[in-house]
Amino acid sequence: MKIKRVGSKSASDNFIETPVYIYKDDPNWVQPLNKDIEDVFFPGVNKLYKKGTAARWILMDDEGHLIGRIAAFINTKSSAGQPLRVGGFGFFECIDDKDAAFMLFNQAQKWLISREMEIMEGPINFGEKDKWWGLLPLRFSR
């Protein structure tokens, strides 16, 4: 498996398309609008980029097939005044594979720790609180 940080238009497109491949045989899955997800990661639309940052990754199997994705966020406005520095993760989608899932979670955790975060919570959205939110706090052990 290979994890790749989203930094190009093609990788961004792959980030959007990953769940399409994962859930292609699930009749209950409803694809969100691509633009709604793209807007979260577009600084010209998402005002949280003024005081925060985000990163995204896609995961591919050895044949290059998309098998997972995750994003990590830091919103300095919402973490101000908190006793611990909190970052978030979201947009997690993964095939049913524990190693693949942990690879994605570890990548988000590593990125947040490198930015001095002490807690990772999610799934959350780097944007409005009416979409893609939940809560699963994870305190980092050092």
CATH number of the domain enclosing 66: 3.40.630.30
List helix spans (H) across 3-142. Answer: 9-22, 34-40, 76-79, 98-114
Single out the residue of 71, 48, 33 nearest to residue 129, CA to CA: 48
Please state the pTM of the whole predicted model: 0.84
Structural domain for 98, as ranges: 2-139
- What gap in Å lies between CA 5 and CA 14, rounded to an integer? 11
The total domain count for the chain is 1
**pLDDT by 10s per residue, the chain, length 142:** 999 999 999 999 999 999 999 999 988 888 888 888 888 888 887 777 677 889 999 999 999 999 999 999 988 766 666 778 888 898 999 999 999 999 999 999 999 999 989 888 887 777 655 555 554 445 566 5
